[in-house]
Amino acid sequence: MRVKREHFRSPKDLPVVEYVTPGSPLCAGCGGLTTLRLMHKVLGENVVVVNAAGCMTLMAVYPFTPLKSSWLYTTMGSAAAGAQGVRDALDVLIERGKLDAADDLQVLVLAGDGSTYDMGLSATSGAIHRGLNFWYLCYDNQAYGNTGFQMSAASPLGSRTATSHSGAVQRRKDIFELWRAQRPPYVATVSSHDAVDLAEKVERARGLNGPKLFLSLAVCPTGWGFDPELSDEIAKLAIETGVWPLKEAVDGAVRHTYVPNRFRPVEEYLRPQHRFAHLFEPQRDEELLTRIQQNVDDYWAPVLAEPVANA
């Protein structure tokens, strides 16, 4: 079941114009790049991307940039602070007549889960606390992908990474809730699979002044171990199994923007990915598979119990 859409009804409604040119050295089939490209389309051209160290840092390798907008690489731990510096500078320069108001830009932090969940959390929490008016796109591929896929605080239970050979045993941080706890005006999860939902959310958030998180499940053929052709399929399975709920929180009030009519078993999402292969071979890890399914069920139970289920 889908919430009513106000701005975009089908992929055909999305802007045709591109602000991210091809020619970047990112992996074929990168879900994070799809998300950035789609988000940028809806944001429009006047954007400055403030980047934290991660896969996307290598979008722009001297002397090239794929962005038709602006870019500032900062550090892994302080992209949100860099966004604050840029936002404040634009504001004060316009206020003081040193910059034409027509030259104003929207500030977008672009960070992976390693920066978002781990090293950059203090800087981000500070920016939320200060009510900074900025967009934040986290391309969450659930590990330190750029260094070769090591475990991060976003790595899901059971995921094999280069530093968790038998699978992550921790519960991943719920960064959506960590953000929401500070009551920014907008927090959303998005997926490259549902471009219309993503576009709709950007449009809904546009008028809100303050921190706006877009947490995207960045399907990662290289790190997760599947053929790039399946990128969209895996992203879709994450949604249809309930592993990746599509939702938003406006001023803290959560609603799900899509609820599968019939949840597919989590196994269907796990099985095609090499990072979960050890759950199936050489023998099925029944206990862990049950736990993973149970975690998903436990997440959705109260959501589905709501009387007007997010209509």
Partner 1 sequence: MSRQLLTGNAAAAWGARLADVDYIPAFPITPQTEIIETLAAWSQAGELPGRFVTFDGEHSMLTAAGAAAAAGARTFTATSSQGLLFGMESLYTISGWRVPLVLVNVSRGLSAPITLGPDHNDVLAARDAGFVQIHAETCQEVLDSILMGYRIAEDRRVSVPVLVNLDGFYLSFTREPVDVPDEAAVREFLPPFDFEHLGFRASRPIAQGVAVLEGATYSHFRYQMHRAIQNAAAVHAEATVEFSRLFGRSYAAIEQYRVEDADTVLVMAGSFAAKGKAAVDQWRADGRRVGLLRLRVVRPFPAAELAAALSGRRAVGVIDQNLSPGVGGIFCQELAAALYSVPDRPPVLRSFVTGLGGKDISQSEFDHVLSVLDAAQSGDPVTDTELLMTAAEWQQVQGRLASARRPVEDNAPLPTDSDDVRAAVRAEFEDARGGVS
Partner 2 sequence: MIRIRFHGRGGHGVKTASRILGTAAFLAGFETQDSPVYGAERRGAAVTAFARISETPIRERGMIAQPDLIVLADDTLLNDPAAGVLVGQETASAIFLNAADPAPLVAQYHIAPPARAFDVTARTRELLGRPSALSAGVASAAAKLCGCITEANLEAAVREEFSHLAVSPDAVTKNVEIALSVFAALEPAVLSDVPRAATAEMARVPYVDPVLGASTVYNSGNAEQRHTGAWRVERPVIDAGLCTRCGLCFVECPDGAMSLDATGLPLVDYDHCKGCMICSHVCPVDAITHQPETAAW
Least distance (Å) between residue 145 CB and partner 1: 16
- As a whole number of Å, the CA-based R_g of the chain is 19
Is the Cβ–Cβ distance between 145 and 112 less than 8 Å? yes
Task: Report which residue type is found at 173.
Answer: K
- Which x/- pattern over 129-148 shows residues binding partner 1 (rule: CB under 8 A)? xx------------------
* Closest CB to partner 2 among residues 158, 184: 158
Give the whole-angstrom CA distance, residue 242 versus residue 265.
9
Query: Binding pattern to partner 2, positions 54-83, x when CB under 8 A?
Result: ----xxxxxxxxxxxxxx------------
How far apart, in whole angstroms, are the C-alpha atoms of residue 32 and residue 56?
Answer: 8
For residues 185-224, which are near partner 2 according to CB under 8 A? 192-193, 195, 221-222
Give least dist CB 28 to partner 2, A. 4
306 binds partner 1 (CB under 8 A): no
Residue appearing with tokens 């009551």: 183
Q: Find which of partner 1, partner 2, none residue 37 binds, CB within 5 to 8 Å per kind.
A: partner 2
Coil vs helix vs strand at 136: strand
d(CA 254, CA 183): 11
Please count the other Cβ atoms lying within 10 Å of the Cβ belonging to residue 65.
17
The entry of partner 2, partner 1, none that residue 105 binds, CB within 5 to 8 Å by partner kind = partner 1
Using CB distances below 5 to 8 A depending on partner kind, what does residue 98 bind out of partner 2, partner 1, none?
Answer: partner 1
Q: Under a CB-based contact definition with an 8 Å cutoff, are residues 91 and 111 in contact?
A: no
- Name the one residue in this structure whose structure tokens are 């330190």: 144
Site string for partner 2, 286-305 (x = CB under 8 A): --------------------
DSSP state of 10: S
Amino acid (one-letter) located at 84? Q
Among left, alpha and beta (phi > 0; psi -120 to 50; other), residue 183 is: left
Distances (CA, A) of 54 to 48, 75, 141: 17, 9, 11
Binding mask 237-276 for partner 2 (x = CB under 8 A): ----------------------------------------
For partner 2, the binding residue among 9, 11, 171, 209 (CB under 8 A) is 11
73 interacts with partner 1 by CB under 8 A: yes
Q: Amino acid identity, residue 88?
A: D
Contacts with partner 1 by CB under 8 A lie at: 45-46, 48, 50, 57-58, 60-63, 65, 67-75, 77-86, 88-93, 96, 98-100, 102-105, 122-123, 125-126, 129-130
Contacts with partner 2 by CB under 8 A lie at: 10-12, 14, 16, 18, 20-31, 33-34, 37-38, 58-71, 192-193, 195, 221-222, 228-233
